[in-house]
């Protein structure tokens, strides 16, 4: 049985077998859940329309792909060039079974010391991650992820979303960082990125906030996505709201297209710093479930 989780603060009606999918969303290309226009406001109850419980004991590859230097569309880098990757994905691997494991209730995305060269991988550390690109995406609604994060100096677990189709080729198509936690922090970051904030360096409206987490237990991380705002929360408590600015255009609001989900354990990088205590490894990013409400 799944563990109890923090009670959410809004009314939810669970989709049952007698309700039609089409009452809540249109299914584009058989995998993108586009919320119906009449449900894109505060006046409706949320419905559970998609979930992943990670209780199969293996990765459901109809929904997820393991992130790797070779397999990810944005990070196609030969492993021998890992030193040239100046971001958190320099240690990610899709081929080492040690970094993505399961029990009957969770998926464990690990950060480990690489003790051997059996796979010909020269990197000192290895990490695991999954993403739903081309398999599960959605537009509008509330996404929740229940996860427990092991701490370590140099650890940088993340739950985030990127645009599925990247329909604006001349600009940043947006990013929703639902959770980033550094090192041993007892709080997590939630951030919105776009061309407006990254390229144009605009600081209004506020793009980020932090909220407390229980560092020793599971927490529920979420973003509620409306046509005119993003509302971030941890354990049902609002962290901050990122609004659509009238007249700012797609540079500020590219969030009018489907997005997919990434969940990954990361190590090192300019933000968390280096692994200073390798004895803290291995660490787990333990994910219980993912739920989409619309």
pLDDT tens digits, 55-87: 999 999 999 999 987 555 555 666 767 776 666
51 is catalytic: no
Per DSSP, the three-state class of 213 is coil
Q: Given a cut of 60, is residue 13 above it in pLDDT?
A: no
Average pLDDT, the chain: 89
Q: Select which of 175, 241, 279, 280 is catalytic.
A: 175
pLDDT grade for 90, boundaries at 50, 70 and 90: confident
- How far is it, in rounded angstroms, from Cα 89 to Cα 91? 5
Using an 8 Å Cβ cutoff, are 197 and 293 in contact? no
Model pLDDT for residues 261-280, shown as the tens digit of each residue: 999 999 998 899 999 999 99
DSSP 14-44: E--TTS-GGGTEEEETTTEEEE-GGGSSTTS
Burial state string for 208-222 with b = 16 or more CB within 10 A and e = fewer than 16 = bbbbebebeebbbbb
175 is catalytic: yes
Structure tokens at 94: 């899709």
Architecture field, domain 24-293: Sandwich (2.60)
**What would the mean pLDDT of 35-39 be, rounded to a whole number?**
92
Q: Select which of 180, 241, 268, 280 is catalytic.
A: 180
């Amino acid at each position: 049985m799944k563990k109890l989780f923090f009670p959410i603060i809004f009314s939810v009606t669970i989709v049952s077998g007698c309700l039609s999918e089409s009452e809540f969303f249109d299914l584009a290309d058989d995998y993108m859940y586009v919320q119906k226009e009449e449900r894109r406001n505060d006046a409706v109850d949320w419905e559970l329309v998609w979930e992943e419980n990670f209780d199969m004991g293996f990765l459901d590859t109809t929904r997820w792909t393991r992130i790797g230097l070779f397999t990810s569309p944005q990070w196609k880098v030969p492993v021998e060039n890992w030193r040239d990757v100046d971001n958190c994905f320099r240690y990610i691997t899709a081929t080492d079974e040690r970094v993505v494991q399961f029990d009957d209730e969770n998926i464990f995305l690990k950060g480990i010391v690489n003790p051997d060269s059996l796979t010909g991988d020269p990197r000192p550390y290895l990490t695991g991650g999954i993403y739903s690109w081309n398999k599960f995406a959605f537009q509008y609604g509330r996404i929740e992820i229940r996860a427990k994060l092991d701490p370590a100096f140099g650890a940088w677990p993340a739950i985030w979303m990127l645009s599925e189709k990247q329909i604006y080729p001349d600009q940043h198509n947006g990013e929703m960082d639902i959770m980033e936690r550094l090192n041993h922090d007892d709080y997590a970051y939630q951030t919105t990125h776009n061309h407006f904030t990254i390229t144009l360096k605009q600081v209004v409206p506020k793009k980020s906030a932090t909220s407390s987490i229980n560092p020793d237990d599971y927490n529920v991380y979420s973003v509620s996505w409306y046509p005119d705002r993003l509302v971030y929360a941890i354990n049902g408590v609002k962290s901050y709201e990122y609004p659509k600015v009238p007249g700012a255009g797609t540079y500020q609001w590219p969030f009018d297209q489907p997005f997919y989900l990434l969940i990954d354990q990361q190590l090192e990088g300019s933000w968390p710093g280096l692994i200073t205590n390798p004895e803290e490894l291995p660490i787990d990013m333990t994910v219980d479930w993912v739920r989409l409400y619309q």
